[in-house]
Amino acid sequence: MRKTGRRARKEEMSAGRIEYIEAARQRLRSRRLRRTILLVVLVAAVVIYLTGVVNTSVMALEDLADTVRIALMPERGFPQQTGTGAVYQVEQLGGSFVVLGEDGCAVYSHSGTKLNNIGTGYARPALAAGKNSFVLYNRSGSELRVESRTRELYSRQTDGDLYLCALSDGGQLAVVTDDVRKLALVTVYDSSRTEELTWSLTTTEGIPMRMDFSPDGSQLAVATLTAQEGQVVSNLYLLNLRAGDPQLVTSESGSTPLDLEWLSNGRLLAVYDTHAALYGSDGSQLARREFGGAAVAGLSAANGGLAVLFGSGQSSSVVLMDGSLDIQYEGTVPTAHGIARGSDAFYLLCDSSVECFGLDGTYQWTAAMSARPQAMLANGGGLFVFTDNMVQRITPPEEGSSEAAVSSEESDPAGSSAASPAA
C-alpha cells in the first residue's frame, strides 16, 4: 500500500536530508585528509631540509632523469671512436660505461651514444666508479672531479697529493692524500659533500692501495701496504662510518692487494697476488683460496663470482670461483693478457682475438680483432672490447657457429669477423 499525505512527504524529506548530511560529512573527511597530507608533506620537507637529505634526493632525481634520457636516446651502434688513446681503465655504470685513456675520458651508453667527454691533462689519471657516477682524479696532483654519466657534478682541491679515491653507489666519497704529520690521510665525505670523518694512518698501518664502500654505504674496506722487518705486509681494515673506528681484519706478510669487492653488505671479497679471501661484515673470515704461487695476469670479480687468469709467456690458466670461493672450473687456456667474467661465460683477451668459454671451461667461440685489444667489459649491454681510440661490441654467433660478430665500420652493423677456434 502506498503512503500519501504529510507522512510520505516527511519521509521523502528525511531521505533527502540524510543524503545531504552524508555528502557534507564526506566533504569534511576529504578536507581533513587533504590537511593531514599537507601537514605530513610540510613536516617531511622540514626534516629533509634540517637533516641534509635534500641533496641526496636531488641527486636521486638527477640520476633518474639521466636514466630516462639515456633510455630514450636513439641507437647509435658500434664501433665508436672514443678519442681517449691507449686504454688505462674501463668501468661499468648504469646503462653505460666509462673509459679512461692517456688522452682523456669518455662515457658511452650501451646503445653507442656518447654521454660525456672529459679532457683532463692529468699526468697520472685514475678513476673510481659508483652506481651512476664516477670520480676522476690526478694521482700526481691535488684535483678530483666527480662526474655523472652526462655532466660534472663538482670538483675539489685537496690539501695534499692524491693517492687513491673511492665512490659509493649513494655518492659518498673517500679520498686518500699524503699526511705530513703521519703517513697518509683518509677523508670520507657524505653524499651532501660534507666531511664525515678522517683517519690518519701511520707507517705501521700503511698506505691505502685499494678501497671499496659496502653497497649500503655503512662501511669502507681499506687494504694498505707497508713494510715491517724487511717484509712487505698488507693490512686489511674495516672502517665503520657510523662508529668511525677502524678494525684490523688481517695482516698478510708477502702479499699485495689487487682488488676489494663487496659482494653484498655482509660479504667482502679481498684478492691478493697470493690468494683470495672472503670476509663477513664483522671481519670474520668466511673462506680462503690459495693461488699456489702462480703469477696473476688478470682478474675479474663480477656477476657473483671471481675469475683469475694466471701465467706469463707462452702458457695461461684460469680458475673460476663462485661467491663462496668454491671452484667452478680450473684449467689451461690460450695465452692471454686479460679476462672478464660474464653471467654465463668468461672471456679472454689475446693478442689478436677475444676467446669465449663457458663457466665449465667449454670453448664457445672466437672473435678476431683488427687491432690488439687492450681491455673489455662484460655487462648487461653485451661484451665491449676496447682498442686505441675505439670501442667495439661483440655479438655471440648463432648456435652451431664459432664465428662471433664484431662491430665494424667497414661492413654492415652486424658484420662478422671469421676466426678459427682457439688451440
Which positions ≥6 away from 422 have C-beta within 8 Å?
Answer: 333, 334, 350, 353, 355, 363, 366
Sign of the alpha-carbon torsion through 21, 24, 28, 29 = positive
pLDDT by 10s per residue, the chain, length 423: 444 555 545 455 566 666 767 777 777 776 776 676 566 556 555 554 554 444 555 566 677 777 777 777 778 899 999 999 999 999 999 999 999 999 999 999 999 999 999 988 899 999 999 999 999 999 989 999 999 999 999 999 999 999 999 999 999 999 999 998 899 999 999 999 999 999 999 999 999 999 999 999 999 999 999 998 889 999 999 999 988 789 999 999 999 999 999 999 999 999 999 999 999 999 999 999 999 999 999 999 988 899 999 997 778 999 999 999 999 999 999 999 999 999 999 999 999 999 999 999 999 999 999 999 999 999 877 899 999 999 999 988 877 666 777 876 543 333 333 333 333
Q: Which three cell numbers stand for residue 170?
A: 649513494
Among 277, 262, 269, 276, which residue's Cα sits nearest to residue 220? 262
Report the predicted TM-score, pTM, of the whole model to 2 decimal places.
Answer: 0.81
- Write down the residue that cell numbers 659508483 correspond to: 130
Contact predicate 6/13, CB 8 Å: no
Q: Which three cell numbers stand for residue 257?
A: 692487494
C-alpha 149/C-alpha 91 separation (Å) is: 12
Alpha carbon 51 to its chain's center: 27
Return the pLDDT at 63: 72
Cis peptide before 396 (omega within 30 of 0): no
Contact predicate 246/239, CB 8 Å: yes
3-state secondary structure 359-412: CCCCEEEEEECCCCCCEEEEECCEEEEEECCEEEEEECCCCCCCECEECCCCCC
Q: Which three cell numbers stand for residue 212?
A: 671499496
Give the E-state strand segments of 25-183 in sequence order: 80-81, 87-93, 96-101, 104-109, 114-118, 125-129, 133-138, 143-148, 152-157, 162-167, 173-178
Sign of the alpha-carbon torsion through 318, 129, 284, 163 = positive
Q: What pLDDT, in 10s, does the model give residues 121-130?
A: 899 999 999 9
Alpha carbon 13 to its chain's center: 71
Among 159, 252, 182, 149, which residue's Cα sits nearest to residue 210? 252
Alpha carbon 210 to its chain's center: 14
- Write down the residue that cell numbers 706478510 correspond to: 253
* DSSP secondary structure letters along 47-83: HHHHHTHHHHHHHHHHHHHHHHHHHHSPP--S-EE--
Distances in whole angstroms, Cα of residue 210 to Cα of each of 166, 184, 267, 307, 382? 9, 13, 16, 18, 27
Span between the terminal Cα atoms of the chain, in Å = 102
Among 359, 218, 361, which residue's Cα sits nearest to residue 302? 359
